[in-house]
Amino acid sequence: MIARYTRPEMAGIWTEKNRFEVMLEVEVLAMEAMVKAGKVPKADLDEVRKKASIDVAKIDEIEKVVKHDIIAFLSQVERKVGKAARHLHMGMTSSDVLDTALAVQMVQAAELLQKDIVPLKKAVADLARKHKGTLMAGRTHGVHAEPTTFGLKAAGWHSELVRSEERLADAKKIIAFGKISGAVGTYAHLDPEFEKHVLSKLGLGIEPVSTQIVPRDRHAQYMAALALVGGTLERIALEIRHLQRTEVLEAEEPFTEGQRGSSAMPHKRNPVGCENICGLARLLRSNAQAAFENTALWHERDISHSSVERVIIPDSTLLLDYMLARMTSIIAGLQVYPERMKENLNKTFLILASQRLLLEILRNSKGKYSREDAYKLVQRYAQKAWTEGGDFKKLVLKSPEIREFLSEKAVTECFDPAYFVRHKDLIFKRAGL
């Protein structure tokens, strides 16, 4: 991933140095298991632990000749250690090391993402509580529907972030499996106890039935989880973008001191952070699709998945790490304009009461009106108010068909905005807020 979207801690997980160091630990733990079984002298293990180290530049130099990264890695370690290194990789195949090390890195990345989402969830929770009663127009199809509150909108974001936390936990759980089972997964030259020793030390589960690799459905599920979390961030970002439109302007992402919105127009304050998140979410989905393509491989394995994973797995974890941090900053500094929300709601609120009016007519007409007839009656006055800019409430109060069943007080109650959000406490309780 380019430096622009890379944060140091996550980047550290995906350095070649960290990758080779994890691979070395896998190899040493396998050797440790062989010592425990009496198959390798302990003195040789001690020698390996004392002298083995990673020199990425040297590995790269060797790989240019051998054209095989695992052989290059083993050769570099052997040159550092000497004869004791002959016990490394005994009975193992490349994917024993690669897949097990990759699982460790993916677990490390998932744990960091789990940490990232905590401050975002808190920022959204604070926002929801602060604006629990801030009335605004609810919109469907981009058109005013019925009143809601900005707090309820944010509560929905919070609820989805809770599910995102669960998805990251599930992703960590599904990927935390390795294998030390040999060329086609049959332990032909290995004792299954070696695998148990290595994986338990690394905190990984044993792949129940491996081939030469860990099955790639695990990786696909992990990547799908990242894409879904990215989709949650996109949903929040897209909503803020809509609310920041000049014609709406009910909320606005932070605009910091010295920031410029346009190279040409000094007045511009664009939702660039939210647009950035929406764009990066597309990359996460594209990478997840590539992970799905990796699940079907030839026989016990081929290598078509490898080149894809070297790109998509680091990139997606780096992207989501960046996106979570950026969204946290946006939410923490979000500018919310309750008076503008009220102003926009008042433009259409009297019309937005149409459903409640319809239901009250049906309740009080004692069967005189069918739902269809009552709908047409209310729609006639609502559309007149909409197209002519009239006062819907006044039109209703003057309607003999409606006043036959509803008193002036009953009509007025239909236009009380608090009625529409009277269950907000219950919804907040369900959201854990």
CATH number, domain at 358?
Answer: 1.10.40.30
Same-domain pairing of 143 and 41: no
For residue 177, the surrounding DSSP H or E stretch is strand 177-178
- Please give the DSSP secondary-structure letter assigned to residue 211: S
Our count of domains for the chain comes to: 3
Q: Whose CA is closest to 73, among 90, 51, 89, 84?
A: 89
Give the pLDDT of residue 399.
85
- Residue 58: give its domain's CATH number: 1.10.275.10
Count of CB atoms situated within 10 Å of the CB of 430: 11
d(CA 396, CA 394): 5
Phi and psi at 188, nearest 5°, equal -60, -35
Whether 78 maps to a domain, the answer reads yes
Q: Is the dihedral of CA 411, 416, 421, 426 positive or negative?
A: negative
Same-domain pairing of 234 and 360: no
- Residue 202: give its domain's CATH number: 1.20.200.10
Same-domain pairing of 64 and 153: no
Domain boundary residue, one of 87, 109, 142: 87
Q: How far is CA 166 from CA 117, 163, 220, 326, 368, in A?
A: 11, 5, 17, 21, 52
For residue 18, the surrounding DSSP H or E stretch is helix 16-36
Same-domain pairing of 83 and 101: no
Same-domain pairing of 373 and 297: no
Tell me the pLDDT of the chain (433 aa) as tens digits: 899 999 999 999 999 999 999 999 999 999 999 999 999 999 999 999 999 999 999 999 999 999 999 999 999 999 999 999 999 999 999 999 999 999 999 999 999 999 999 999 999 999 999 999 999 999 999 998 889 999 999 999 999 999 999 999 999 999 999 999 999 999 999 999 999 999 999 999 999 999 999 999 999 999 999 999 999 999 999 999 999 999 999 999 998 778 887 778 888 788 999 999 999 999 999 999 999 999 999 999 898 999 999 999 999 999 999 999 999 999 999 999 999 999 998 887 667 788 888 888 888 887 888 889 889 988 888 888 888 877 888 888 888 888 888 888 988 888 888 888 999 999 999 999 9
Identify the active-site residue in 141, 263, 267, 307. 141
Whether 45 maps to a domain, the answer reads yes
Are the C-beta atoms of residues 390 and 414 closer than 8 Å to each other?
no
Identify the active-site residue in 200, 262, 304, 407. 262
Give the pLDDT of residue 207.
95
For residue 148, the surrounding DSSP H or E stretch is strand 143-149
Whether 379 maps to a domain, the answer reads yes
Whether 109 maps to a domain, the answer reads yes
Domain boundary residue, one of 68, 87, 106: 87
Active-site annotation holds for 141: yes
Question: Diameter of the chain by CA atoms?
Answer: 102
d(CA 207, CA 25): 19
Looking at the DSSP assignment, which residues form a beta bridge with residue 318? none
Instruction: Write out the residue range of the structural domain in which residue 401 sits.
Output: 354-414
354, two tokens: 């149409």
Count of CB atoms situated within 10 Å of the CB of 398: 11
Give the pLDDT of residue 349.
65
Same-domain pairing of 106 and 69: no
Same-domain pairing of 129 and 181: yes
Domain boundary residue, one of 307, 340, 373: 340
Same-domain pairing of 144 and 212: yes
Same-domain pairing of 218 and 280: yes
Same-domain pairing of 259 and 359: no
Whether 432 maps to a domain, the answer reads no
Whether 386 maps to a domain, the answer reads yes
Whether 349 maps to a domain, the answer reads no
Cα 288 from chain centre: 12
Give the pLDDT of residue 34.
95
Same-domain pairing of 109 and 44: no
Same-domain pairing of 212 and 239: yes
pTM for the structure as a whole: 0.91
